[in-house]
Structure 1
Amino acid sequence: MMTNSIITHPENKAVTEIVFVKTIPSLGVFELRPIDLDADIPLLHNWVNREYAVYWGMNGFSIDEVHDSYQKILEKTDVYMGIFNGEISFLLECYNPEEDSIGEYYNVEKGDKGMHILVAPFEKSIPNFTWSIFTVILDFIFCDANNQRVIVEPDARNHKIHLLNKKAGFVFQTILDLPHKKAHLEFCTRKDYYKALQA
């Protein structure tokens, strides 16, 4: 069975900037830190303009448009850069559904936390890499006792993410007709996630 070492130290955020660490012995070290708009936007601009990131909704954006978008996103959302063995490898957005338009489409409960994930383009294939990122992110979210359920609303056409969500314990609720996309509304409770890890 895979063992994980998890360290959280939000108190040291100003010193280290790293807010979460998870080590997967067979793979490496994953870290999360808050986004730095000036330093990270050029890399994100590269990612969001690639074909695989079409569902992110920023294909064709200029670097200034990506910067402005994230400046606005940060008003209501916590955005983190994910680091794998020293290399920036994914992005995580965590938001309060009550403060997001998704809250108009379902009954928000206390302890709900929304998330969006974008993985960097692969330089080389690493077995189960995206799944490992998923466990890092869900471990991070659920290490906060206030977070009881994770909400996702991926594009209905994004079949790869639907499979990954199901593997992590997300349960499909309904299809939503959002202004910018047709989406799957899916929930994952803390219990659902830990049960999925044992499967």
Structure 2
Amino acid sequence: MHSTDASTDTGTGPVPRTDEGSEDTLDLQLSEDLLSLLRTGDPAHAPWPVAPGSAGGDLLDRPGAWKPAATPAGVFQLVPVDIERDLSLLSHWMNDPAVAAFWELSGPESVTRAHLRPQLDGDGRSVPCLGVLQGTPMSYWEVYRADLDPLARHYPARPHDTGLHLLIGGVADRGRGTGTTLLRTVADLVLDNRPQCTRVVAEPDLRNTPSVSAFLGAGFRYSAEVDLPDKRAALMVRDRAFRDLM
């Protein structure tokens, strides 16, 4: 299927909270002992300069320490968000009407800050990142533990399932296949760096056919339709077992 990613950037945003904090997690509290067992990696070896402690969550094998990837569009790297450095840019992207229609985070910078802060202050089950292509920030990604997310209430989750939310920030990078290329790249980064993860998942809005098409072009399969609190979504899955076939 020919894939266009004109709306890939807008259709895979997070499910908004339906009440104060209740949809942020599965209400699973992880003990410090368990967290320490899951911690791996050393931010000092991150390929992009990141502040100590900001290389991403231990629960996700530290995305900030993952090596850059060569893609047909150029060298790509995930860089964990620094809220002071990146807030203005991310808020600007969130106020793009095409993005705001799905992410629902338009408004002053405080809106974007309030969305980022729980992830940055949390236990690492969701890591917000800039997507840097050829040295230029051009996309926003959330790499998250789908099995520890409210999404797991709506599909048969497996341990270490890893989810993706994304938006393409620059209009010039939309509709040219870049989103499809980067979806495959980031899914491969997850599978290469998270050996316990057998599947990468996403839940674009079912109405966003360009986004669904982009996921298909990136090697994801259409698994099911799921009713989430704010949308009917297409559950897209990239399986480790079939990554070389799709």
Same fold (TM over 0.5): yes
Letter of the aligned partner of 1:22 in structure 2?
A
- Give the 3 Å change call, closer, same or farther, for CA 132–174 of structure 1 in structure 2: closer
TM-score, normalised to structure 2's length? 0.69
Could you report, residue by residue, the CA deviation over 1:85-125 in whole angstroms, capped at 9, with x for unpaired residues?
A: 11101111111123211111112112311111111122367
Q: Which has the larger strand fraction?
A: 1
Structure 2 residue corresponding to 1:113, chosen from 139, 154, 162? 162
Unaligned runs of 5+ in 1: 1-7
Pairs aligned (count): 187
Task: Quote the residue 2:98 is aligned against.
Answer: 52
Whether the 8 Å contact between 1:153 and 1:184 is mirrored in structure 2 is: yes
Task: Quote the residue 1:159 is aligned against.
Answer: 209
Letter of the aligned partner of 1:109 in structure 2?
R
Could you report, residue by residue, the CA deviation over 1:53-79 in whole angstroms, capped at 9, with x for unpaired residues?
A: 121221x33211110111123323111
TM-score, normalised to structure 1's length? 0.83
> In structure 2, how many angstroms separate the alpha carbons of the residues matched to 1:14 and 1:80?
14
Could you report, residue by residue, the CA deviation over 1:158-186 in whole angstroms, capped at 9, with x for unpaired residues?
A: 11110011122222222222111121112
Unaligned runs of 5+ in 2: 1-40, 51-63
Matches within 5 A, 1:101-180: 101-123=150-172, 127-144=176-193, 145-180=195-230
> In structure 2, how many angstroms separate the alpha carbons of the residues matched to 1:99 and 1:91?
21
* Higher RCO, 1 vs 2 (CA within 8 Å, ≥6 residues apart): 2
Q: CA RMSD in A?
A: 2.4
Letter of the aligned partner of 1:160 in structure 2?
P
Q: CA deviation at 1:11?
A: 5.0
The runs of at least 4 consecutive aligned structure 1 residues that moved more than 4 Å come to 8-11, 124-127
Larger mean Cα displacement after TM superposition, 32-41 or 124-133: 124-133
Could you report, residue by residue, the CA deviation over 1:17-73 in whole angstroms, capped at 9, with x for unpaired residues?
A: 36330123x532112111111111111111111122121221x33211110111123
Structure 2 residue corresponding to 1:21, chosen from 65, 68, 77? 68
Q: CA deviation at 1:132?
A: 2.1
Q: In structure 2, the residue corresponding to 1:114 is in which secondary structure?
A: strand
Task: Quote the residue 2:117 is aligned against.
Answer: 71
Letter of the aligned partner of 1:83 in structure 2?
V
- Give the 3 Å change call, closer, same or farther, for CA 169–132 of structure 1 in structure 2: closer
Task: Quote the residue 2:76 is aligned against.
Answer: 30
Whether the 8 Å contact between 1:155 and 1:181 is mirrored in structure 2 is: yes
